[in-house]
Amino acid sequence: MMLRGFRAFIFDLDGCIYRGNIPIPGAADTIAHLRKLGKKILFLTNNATRTPEQYVEKLKGMKVDADVDDVLTSATATAIFLSKKYGKVSVFPVGGRGLIQELEKIGHTTVDAHEIEKAEFVVACLDPEFTYEKLDLACQAIFSGAKLVATNIDQTIPVEEGFKPGAGAIVAAISAATGAEPEVVGKPFRHIIKIALERLGTVASETVFVGDRLDTDIQAGKDVGGFTILVLSGSTKRETAEKVDNPKQKPDLILADVSYVQQLLI
């Protein structure tokens, strides 16, 4: 009953709705139940490797009801952020189609190795095809005057077998080589949360933030005054969550997984 009064729910994806390609048991039923109650839903992910369309396809493959407007990636948020703050800009992307499509959809121009000196920004995200050549090109763009922007700085991402390096490792490499401090858009920074709430049409105090990481999902919700739920199906163990003394990362509620949300809506 304690959650019934909230208008909207923001869910992380990796470690919350699924882990790698394995759905979290009960996630689809929970989302369906929330929609039946008329709650607004947004899936908010720092992972920018997929386009929103690809995330919708993945979610539907797991029987989770979603459309493109229900998914906000850090790539989409970064494209919106750049447009609002700087206008249409030229970008050297350290990332794949999930990043490039969202930048170009907003109207930004992406540049390649042949025109690296034209880049006004280097935008970095999780990139499974990250190479020394990409690192070098990103550095050359920054040495030529480009600013460094990170979609997020997550150190790891949860997968079926454990964890893999996240975007933060790639951003750290670029920053170490150039001395450039990145402007970060994704969770826990407020840029992405502002865009998320605008899309939902709600304010933080009437929104529940659900995720598996204390330093991104929970802190993002706490920073804006939302109600936060940590699920233990991803990156964080219960003992870690219970020992946290940073008030910005202390969840309002800890649940084993998202299926338990339904019990708090009766």
Q: Concatenated DSSP letters for 157-219?
A: EEETTEEEE-HHHHHHHHHHHH-PPPEE-STTSHHHHHHHHHHHT--GGGEEEEES-IIIIIH
Neighbour tally for 27: CB within 10 Å = 24
For residue 210, list its beta bridge partners.
11, 229
Instruction: Tell me the residue ranges of DSSP E strands in 37-184.
Output: 40-45, 71-73, 90-94, 109-110, 121-124, 147-150, 156-159, 162-165, 183-184
Task: Reply yes or no: is the peptide bond before residue 188 cis, omega within 30 of 0.
Answer: yes
> 156-159 and 162-165: which strand pairing?
antiparallel
Annotation says 12 is catalytic:
yes
Rounded to the nearest 10 degrees, the angle between the axes of helix 190-200 and helix 74-86 is: 100
Compute the CA torsion angle 188, 155, 94, 233 (nearest 10 deg): -70
Annotation says 212 is catalytic:
no
Q: Look-up: residue for tokens 């920018």?
A: 48
Which one of the listed residues 12, 70, 215, 257 is annotated catalytic? 12
Which residues participate in catalysis according to the annotation?
Answer: 12, 14
